[in-house]
Amino acid sequence: MSMKLGYNTRVQIPLGGGNEALCHFLSFGGVDMLLDCGGGRRDDRGVIDVPSLDAVDVASLDVVLLSNHTSVLALPHLVEHLGFQGAIYATEMTLQFGRLLLRELAQQGDGVASLRYAERPSDPNAKQTSVAVSLAQAECALRRVTAVEYRETVRLAYGVQLTALSSGFSLGACLWSLESPSERLAYVAAASGDLNRHPKELDLAPLVDCDALIVTDIRPNRDPHGTVERAVEHVVGLVQRVLDRGGVCVVPSPPLGVVLDLIEALHVSSLSRPSRPHPTPIVLLSPSAEEALDAANCGAEWLCDKKVQALYAGESAFLHEALRRSRALEVATAISGRLLSGLQHGGVVFASQGVLPDLLQIVGHDARNAVLSIDPATSHNASSAVAPFHALELEKLVCPIDARLSCGDVNQLIARCLPRALVVPHEYLSPATAVTSESGEPSHFAHVFPLHELIPAKPKTELVTLPLRRLEPVTLDRSAKYIEGKLSPELAARAIMTEVHGRGVAAVSGVVTVRNNEFVVETAPRGTDIDGSAHVDRLGGRPTSSSGADVNGADTPQSRSQTTGSKRKAATAFAPSASPMASVLKSGYTLEYREGSNIVLGTVDEDKLVKHLEAHNPNMEVYVSQGPGDADAMLSIPSLDARITLWKDGARTLIETATEETRRVLQDIVLAQLHTIPA
């Protein structure tokens, strides 16, 4: 018999600085992956700065995870130029919006539509090179992406699992929960804690008590008043000032993200100003505007509760549908005479970079008009935001809208999630930051406030904070739960073997000793009560007392299930997705149920369970439905006032009944599908 106990080493290498392209190399559970593949945009030339991808062996990469549409920018370069052949995962909404954003950037340059990349080599003495990727090649790279749904679990090699959870940043933007058989890690890129926007709020519950929390893309300033809601109010005020003088306010932005919130806010504001003789026309001017609005209507699972309730009521989730029907919102792919005539009395135009220069040539010489920059990348340097419009006579306004978490928000996130280790860019940990960057320009972090050193009150643990610096590896070792060991001949002779599909399995109790640098499980000395004092609830997990309470003082899932509900009693089957016995079991067989004296193996199937129930009582009516939350199925039995809920991925079964007698009957029927191993 073999068990594993060693060190599960996680290595992370940032391939860009905190204010540069978002991309990280991570080795986790035997899987090498890239966390995001973002790029920095040069709006004046349409060039995308890519991270130092030459620092990793692209051929050895297994997976790329994409968190939002901005983290897709360097993907065509990675796939088409560097030849990445592994798997790529992103949500469907991230894939759609990322495709639209790449098309916008490809149309920005002169001549043939293509994406231009500037490579930043890891060697500071190496010369920077430029690479062009055609739009057709970019589309080919995006077809390599596997779309995942909200809270869908993706299984990789070595028992590693990925789950996409809502980050609240934009539609489809996700944070990634990574699990191996022995630990759990959360990767939070761009996330938002604002509750008055259209995306689904940030998922916090799955992050609680994780082994490591990686937080990377954070808003530099931590102004407690710097919320998206306040920024939107400020933008609306600036726009109204331009409209009151009969001007046109041009907002350079693709038709994505916060623009959807701005459209609704501007319309509501115009309704409260009856003094204006004409309704305020709002224009989305972009070749991809139509597709962006259609995509937004298809992401119901990523919408906030208020939007979902509107859908359930038979209404449109977004106001832009009604605005288009009433012609208060116009969607255009190019500038036309009809569009300009509608702006004679003023209006608001959200223009993408491809059509922005032509539009400014028309409206830029009227002092009544204005250009308003909302790009969060210009928050550290307002002069750079208006520099491209310096020669124009219109008013230049800057009001960045940054939906990312601030340092204060991250502190609250840490306090609520209580991770054992925090990995964060070093700029947010330094007591003082440089005013200028390497190029001599003002830095994003010139006014950043550092994160507090937060040590949660947890027994026997404290928060380990690790700073991220460009191209500097961060290694975090954590003791795993398993050891490689042998059974003593005496204990092996006493083991009672049970055959499960041609494999021999046995449950043993003993003590671990070290002899000749080897771990040996031996029979416990006489007088030692192993089974009576404690047993392992999860094989390789923490010891629990016979009552189900954690010996170390923490509640276990079993103890919590015994205290929930006054009417129904629950019997829950606990199991990890992988265990030390996985090597002796065929694929598909995991530990599903643990009694005080037995271990039960197998998989519970709802169809077989219905047949067993009907065989027990032909008159019994059983209704099978989709289970609550992440459950796979729920069987309702009205005649017994009972329910059976199945979690197949987690190998868990919950039996809820009104009486103990009924619970025992249903438990026996469930156990009839499984293999019992005497302890």
Residue 459 has pLDDT above 70, yes or no: no
Q: State the pLDDT confidence band at 553, using cuts at 50, 70 and 90.
A: very low
Rounded to whole angstroms, how far apart are CA atoms 259 and 280?
16
Range from 199-208, 510-519, 559-568 carrying the lowest mean pLDDT = 559-568
CATH 3.40.50.2300 fits 9-219+404-479, yes or no: no
Q: List residues bridging with 351 in a β-sheet.
A: 252, 285
Question: Taking the domain 228-398, which CATH number applies?
Answer: 3.40.50.10890
Which run of H or of E encompasses 522?
A: strand 518-522
pLDDT in tens, 479-530: 555 556 788 888 888 888 777 666 777 777 888 887 766 778 888 776 554 4
CB 351 within 8 A of CB 250: yes
Map residue 484 onto helix, strand or coil: coil
Q: Return the HEC string of 370-406.
A: EEEECCHHHCCCHHHHHHHHCCCCCEEEECCCCCCCC
pLDDT in tens, 333-358: 889 888 888 888 889 999 988 888 88
Q: State the pLDDT confidence band at 547, using cuts at 50, 70 and 90.
A: very low
Q: List residues bridging with 114 in a β-sheet.
A: 134
pLDDT at 100: 92
In the numeric block, which tokens belong to residue 194? 């604002």
Q: State the pLDDT confidence band at 544, using cuts at 50, 70 and 90.
A: very low
**Strand boundaries in 367-517, DSSP class E:** 370-373, 395-398, 421-425, 464-468, 474-479, 485-487, 498-500, 503-505, 511-515
Could you identify the residue written with the tokens 């590896």? 473
Map residue 472 onto helix, strand or coil: strand
Residue 622 has pLDDT above 80, yes or no: yes
Please tell me which residue, 367 or 449, carries the higher pLDDT value.
367
pLDDT at 427: 79
Measured between alpha carbons, how far is residue 272 from residues 20, 275, 279, 314, 652 in Å? 41, 9, 11, 26, 54
Residue 648 has pLDDT above 50, yes or no: yes
CB count within 10 Å of CB 555 equals 12
Rounded to whole angstroms, how far apart are CA atoms 477 and 9?
5
H helices, E strands: number in the chain: 17, 39
Rounded to whole angstroms, how far apart are CA atoms 292 and 272?
28
Q: How many CA atoms lie within 13 A of 95 on its CB side?
A: 19
CB 297 within 8 A of CB 321: yes
CB 35 within 8 A of CB 189: yes
- Return mean pLDDT, the chain: 77
Measured between alpha carbons, how far is residue 641 from residues 570, 615, 670 in Å? 13, 18, 17
- Tell me the residue type at 72: V
Please tell me which residue, 106 or 525, carries the higher pLDDT value.
106
pLDDT at 616: 81
pLDDT in tens, 366-395: 899 999 999 887 766 667 777 788 888 899
Q: How do the domains of the chain map onto residue ranges?
A: 9-219+404-479, 228-398, 485-678
Please tell me which residue, 539 or 72, carries the higher pLDDT value.
72
In the numeric block, which tokens belong to residue 9? 């080493």
pLDDT at 434: 44
Rounded to whole angstroms, how far apart are CA atoms 165 and 186?
10
pLDDT at 638: 84
pLDDT in tens, 18-68: 555 688 999 998 899 999 998 887 655 678 888 888 888 999 999 999 999
Q: What is the mean pLDDT of residues 219-237?
A: 81
Rounded to whole angstroms, how far apart are CA atoms 505 and 581?
8
Q: Which residues are CB-contacts of 410 (< 8 A; sequence separation ≥ 6)?
A: 215, 218, 424, 428, 451
Rounded to whole angstroms, how far apart are CA atoms 259 and 289?
11
Could you identify the residue written with the tokens 């990634």? 176
pLDDT at 451: 59
Q: List residues bridging with 162 in a β-sheet.
A: 154, 178
Residue 15 has pLDDT above 90, yes or no: no
Rounded to whole angstroms, how far apart are CA atoms 166 and 180?
21
pLDDT at 78: 93
Measured between alpha carbons, how far is residue 640 from residues 499, 568, 656, 663, 664 in Å? 35, 12, 10, 10, 12
Map residue 186 onto helix, strand or coil: strand
Residue 636 has pLDDT above 80, yes or no: yes
pLDDT at 453: 46
Please indicate, yes or no, whether the overall pTM of this predicted structure exceeds 0.75. Answer: no
Range from 25-39, 64-78, 148-162, 221-235 carrying the lowest mean pLDDT = 221-235
Q: What is the mean pLDDT of residues 96-109?
A: 86
Q: Phi, psi at residue 185, to the nearest 5°?
A: -130, 145
Of 445-449, 588-592, 654-658, highest mean pLDDT: 654-658
